[in-house]
Chain A
Amino acid sequence: MTEIHLTRRRFMQGALAASALVVGATAAPEALWAQKLDAADDPVAGLALHPSVWVGLDSAGMVTIVAARSEMGTGIRTALPRVVADEMNADWSLVRVEQAIGDPIYGNQDTDGSHSVRSFFDVMRGAGAAARMMLVAAAAKQWGVPESECESRLHRVVHKGSGRMLTYGDLAAAAAELSVPRVSARDFKPRKDWRYIGHDGAMVDLEHICTGHATYGIDVRRPNMLYAAIAHPPVVGGRVRSHHDGAARSVAGVREVVQLPAFHFPAAFQPLGGVAVVADNTWAAFQGRDKLRIEWDNGPNAEYDSAAYRKQMAMTARMPAQVVRNNGNVEGAFAEAAKTLEAEYATPLLAHAPMEPPTATAEVRGRQVEIWAPTQDPQGAQAAVAKALGVNKEDVIIHVTLLGGAFGRKSMADFIVEAALLARHMRRPVKVVWSREDDLRCDYYHSSAAMYMRAALDAQGMPTGWLARSVFPPIGSTFNEKTEYGTGELTMGFSDLPFDIPNIRVENGPAQAHVRIGWLRSVANIYHAFAVQSFAAELAHAAGKDPKDYLLALMGKPRVLDAKLLPQSARGVDQPPYAFDVGRLRRVTEIAAAKAGWGRSLPAGEGIGIAAHRSFLSYVASVVRVGMENGKVRIRQVDTAVDAGLVVNPLGVRAQFEGAAVFGASLAFYGEISAKNGAIEQGNWDTYRVCRIHEAPLDVRVHIVPSDAPPAGVGEPGVPPIAPAICNALFAATGKRVRELPLSKAGLA
């Protein structure tokens, strides 16, 4: 066994090393187990067991729960451990949370797609239930009574007949001697007994954050560590033709200048290449980087002009394209229509711009690699580093720090691989720190999109035919640069159209990527909800009807969407428990409208707008009220109704939807990345603006709809309705219909 394997086990076990009882699970609750600590055969860790563990308990009664999902602000490091603690009947004040390293034993750790609670709720319950059952069994054995006479209460087990009591700490060692019970759903606590699930819980890191003691990726410090800044090619696919580093090397504190391996398409998770400056501190590295003189070969994207290409995308959207969904006879509907209406919508490239720019720290010892990084996807990073360095995946340890925001950017491992390459070269720990300019110019951008919408209308102004085309450089282009058509993007609010219209055709036209395209919080739902929900309001206006009533009429009767009407890629929408239930979408629409006081008279110059959208299996409607000041839109109030099924931590969910209103307002008001000659034009917060406090919606009211449905997403689904609701409110206030984001382009923000 190599040293790294021992080291690896130590890390995996370290979190629970002080625990007497350890309960683990793979990704399925039936695979639970527990083992007692046994130091005999492993001097490093003192814990001889399969190392996938979720919960441990020491003899002092302290519970350790492992968080295997990345914390980027969604509160997942709090929510899932509270599920374990609830099922275990553990006292939350005696729980500490430890972050897992990257390892498939924890199941899929890629913290994206708003599915952490949905995918791990039952796994966490299983781990907690097994621990509780073992503690009860240990108490029964000690007392020599049947288990049925014992019950678990808060952090202790009580014998009902005699009133005898043992604490969890008292029972830890004895419980660890027992085999792990097979847990089924019957063993879970009844919902009425939940003490944490469904109740507000503060973030576990709250006090550390507020005192400056929380550790983010950029805060990692290793003995003997060096710092690196990298001059990346200004154009994706560009390469270093030559570089002169004399001036850079003369900066005090600069140790080395290193040319990184050249970039090859497709981009995937590889670094962009360029030249790194390694120094004694971040400032020296930045100074040295600025003094490099590099001649670039800008490669195949050197001519890319984002404004020109967006015009081309708009033209593509006017042409027949690949059919994604086809119901009824759309041509016939248009031929017979009393009236038709068409509109074109456009949205730009967007950057993630997390407050913490990409950063990672690496240490390489021989063929063993250790990484500390703010990553959403530690297993992806593990694979990318292993591939780049030619080592085994198992020899790469990824420690996951807190993430200073991510929004999808930190699913990508490019910056982590950079740190690994440089640490190997320097034979010392290296921390790579990207500047804000690096972050904004070297992102995996949210795609720009052009959408063409056309409706055939009957005499009452209701659509009989719906033609919708979407054109966007697809995310697939990041993994195969020839890819011009979308896949998953189309099911994000476009081909899964929930409107009750007899003739529907949805199409996807081709577009090329000239930058790296990635996933941004709520992904293609952003542009598709913008087009669909704006167009719905335009149709309402054309029909002379109230936009909310018209939107509900478009949705039609409460029903589960008929999968036969949808493309193969959207199948499953009729499958319980996550069928697309139009009734739930209607309900959030009605609740948001009622809570916002829809229909009441507004002060002069104000307007109110609505949008409803289902994404990541959650149903969300937002009503936005705006006013105008000096010709600029100001958001007065946002009411968001959300049906996300079972909500584990309402406090965290409210925060997610408050934040989503700001995120949506930022992209609606200001968000735009543009490129000339292949290079991104924005560099910092002055040119890539996001809402500041006085520009943000500050009266956001989140209405969580009580639901018995299983948990669905909450991190992303709040974003899509905001931009169309703002634009619909703007129209109501001013009569101006904006079909291209951001609003600042039209001088409205």
Chain B
Amino acid sequence: MIRFKVNGVERQWNGSAEMPLLWYLRDELGLTGAKFGCGVALCGACTVHQNGHAVRSCVVAMQQVAGAEIVTIEGLAGGDGDLHPVQKAWIEHNVPQCGYCQAGQIMQAAALLAESPHPKDEEILGAMAGNICRCGAYQRILAAVRTAAGSSKDRAGEIPPPQYGAPGARAAAGRRRAANHSADHAASIGGSDGEVERAGMVAGAPARAAGGRQ
């Protein structure tokens, strides 16, 4: 029997301890906000918070969530229905196109800002590098994270070219390793791109994401 909380509600699970959290959330609980996009922590569509950290729920086994507090996109807004600042920024910037990846993007960004309330562009890109958007809404994602972080550099048409150098170089190194990435490794760092994820997201993360439901 595995006990844990999802969006503040006590849950228990008697089924497969190996089953990824993603399928428990989607198929068992009917919380379908977290999406399936790769199954191996390469795309970030399934991102949820585990004790405040962004994790790829497609590679987090149920046995790993024992005692944990899980927050999904459905639980990100406050109990009064007030949207999380990241959700508000996403709406303000009209980020989504098809929208499929956006729950994962939002959860990733919320975890970043909980840890680092005023990230530099480089840090934003590093933290968001594990979340693929096939529609290519990245420009608006960057702008929305800046807005949520209270930065003023987000006016349409005035987005300065971001600093590519450091995160790009680290990402390339991460990709070279990606072929040998075990699912466990990916799960522990939450993405395809270990160094980037660690640098931008996990290290020193607080116990819960800002605005996450208790």
CA distance A406 to B99 in the complex (A): 12
* Binary flags per residue of A688-724, CB closer than 8 Å to B gives 1, else 0: 0111111111111100000000000000000000000
CA distance A435 to B134 in the complex (A): 16
Q: In whole Å, how far is B63's beta carbon from the nearest beta carbon of chain A?
A: 13
- Which parts of A428-470 form the interface with B (CB within 8 Å)? 433, 435-436
Q: Which residue of A209, A659, A700 has the most chain B CB atoms within 10 A of its CB atom? A: A209
Assess whether B103 is interfacial by the CB under 8 Å rule.
yes
CA distance A485 to B31 in the complex (A): 48
* Binary flags per residue of B105-135, CB closer than 8 Å to A gives 1, else 0: 0100000000000000000011011111111
What are 13 A-to-B residue pairs whose CB atoms are below 8 Å? A211-B76, A212-B33, A221-B32, A253-B16, A356-B37, A403-B98, A404-B98, A405-B100, A685-B42, A685-B43, A692-B131, A693-B131, A699-B160
CA distance A286 to B36 in the complex (A): 13
CA distance A357 to B134 in the complex (A): 12
CA distance A216 to B101 in the complex (A): 11
* Binary flags per residue of A388-409, CB closer than 8 Å to B gives 1, else 0: 0000000000000011111100
Which residue from B33, B131, B137 sits with its C-beta under 8 Å from A213?
Answer: B33
Report whether B96 and A690 are in contact in the complex, using a CB–CB cutoff of 8 Å: no
Given contacts A210-B102, A690-B134, A699-B160, contact A685 B94 (CB under 8 A): no
Which residue from A73, A218, A353 sits with its C-beta under 8 Å from B36?
Answer: A218
CA distance A699 to B140 in the complex (A): 10
Q: In whole Å, how far is A374's beta carbon from the nearest beta carbon of chain B?
A: 9
Which residue from B27, B36, B99 sits with its C-beta under 8 Å from A205?
Answer: B99
Name B's A-contacting residues (CB within 8 A): 15-16, 19-20, 23, 26-28, 30-40, 42-43, 45, 72-74, 76-77, 83, 87, 90-91, 94-103, 106, 125-126, 128-142, 157, 159-162, 164-165, 167-169, 171-172, 175, 178-179, 181, 192-193, 196
Which residue on chain A has the smallest CB distance to residue B137? A659
Report whether A283 and B77 are in contact in the complex, using a CB–CB cutoff of 8 Å: no
Report whether B140 and A655 are in contact in the complex, using a CB–CB cutoff of 8 Å: yes
Report whether A658 and B40 are in contact in the complex, using a CB–CB cutoff of 8 Å: no
Q: In whole Å, how far is B156's beta carbon from the nearest beta carbon of chain A?
A: 8
Report whether B100 and A283 are in contact in the complex, using a CB–CB cutoff of 8 Å: no
Contact residues in B for A211 (Cβ distance below 8 Å): 33, 73-74, 76-77, 83, 87
Which residue from A205, A210, A227, A629 sits with its C-beta under 8 Å from B164?
Answer: A629
Q: In whole Å, how far is A686's beta carbon from the nearest beta carbon of chain B?
A: 5
Among A34-42, A103-111, A150-158, A630-638, the one that faces the other chain is: A630-638
Report whether A696 and B138 are in contact in the complex, using a CB–CB cutoff of 8 Å: yes
Contact residues in A for B178 (Cβ distance below 8 Å): 686
Q: Please give me the 5 A-B residue pairs with the lowest Cβ-Cβ distance, nearest first.
A: A212-B33, A662-B136, A404-B100, A73-B98, A212-B73
Q: In whole Å, how far is B22's beta carbon from the nearest beta carbon of chain A?
A: 8
Contact residues in A for B157 (Cβ distance below 8 Å): 701
* Binary flags per residue of A613-637, CB closer than 8 Å to B gives 1, else 0: 0000000000000000110101011
Q: In whole Å, how far is A464's beta carbon from the nearest beta carbon of chain B?
A: 40
Report whether A282 and B73 are in contact in the complex, using a CB–CB cutoff of 8 Å: no
Report whether B74 and A283 are in contact in the complex, using a CB–CB cutoff of 8 Å: no
Report whether B96 and A203 are in contact in the complex, using a CB–CB cutoff of 8 Å: yes
Q: In whole Å, how far is A718's beta carbon from the nearest beta carbon of chain B?
A: 10
Contact residues in A for B99 (Cβ distance below 8 Å): 73, 203, 205, 209, 214, 402, 404
Which residue from A71, A210, A658 sits with its C-beta under 8 Å from B90?
Answer: A210
Contact residues in B for A684 (Cβ distance below 8 Å): 38-40, 42
Report whether A206 and B97 are in contact in the complex, using a CB–CB cutoff of 8 Å: no
Report whether B132 and A282 are in contact in the complex, using a CB–CB cutoff of 8 Å: no
Contact residues in A for B72 (Cβ distance below 8 Å): 212
Assess whether A183 is interfacial by the CB under 8 Å rule.
no
Contact residues in B for A695 (Cβ distance below 8 Å): 168, 171
Q: In whole Å, how far is B126's beta carbon from the nearest beta carbon of chain A?
A: 7
CA distance A701 to B181 in the complex (A): 37
Which residue from A221, A353, A355, A404 sits with its C-beta under 8 Å from B30?
Answer: A221
Report whether B136 and A660 are in contact in the complex, using a CB–CB cutoff of 8 Å: yes
Assess whether A207 is interfacial by the CB under 8 Å rule.
yes
Contact residues in A for B167 (Cβ distance below 8 Å): 694
Given contacts A213-B74, A698-B138, contact A637 B35 (CB under 8 A): no
CA distance A659 to B94 in the complex (A): 13
Q: Which residue of A213, A630, A685, A691 has the most chain B CB atoms within 10 A of its CB atom? A: A685
Report whether A698 and B30 are in contact in the complex, using a CB–CB cutoff of 8 Å: no
Given contacts A212-B33, A353-B134, A355-B101, contact A629 B96 (CB under 8 A): no
Contact residues in A for B96 (Cβ distance below 8 Å): 73, 203, 205-206, 209-210
Q: In whole Å, how far is B151's beta carbon from the nearest beta carbon of chain A?
A: 15
Given contacts A73-B97, A75-B97, A205-B99, could you give 15 more A-B pairs where the C-beta distance is less than 8 Å?
Answer: A73-B135, A209-B103, A210-B87, A213-B33, A216-B32, A216-B35, A252-B15, A355-B133, A356-B100, A407-B134, A655-B94, A655-B137, A659-B137, A662-B136, A663-B134
Given contacts A212-B73, A634-B164, contact A355 B136 (CB under 8 A): no
Given contacts A210-B83, A699-B160, contact A685 B38 (CB under 8 A): yes
Given contacts A74-B97, A662-B138, A691-B136, contact A212 B74 (CB under 8 A): yes
Which residue on chain B has the smallest CB distance to residue A651? B94
Report whether B23 and A690 are in contact in the complex, using a CB–CB cutoff of 8 Å: no
Contact residues in B for A212 (Cβ distance below 8 Å): 31-34, 72-74, 76, 103
Report whether B23 and A281 are in contact in the complex, using a CB–CB cutoff of 8 Å: yes
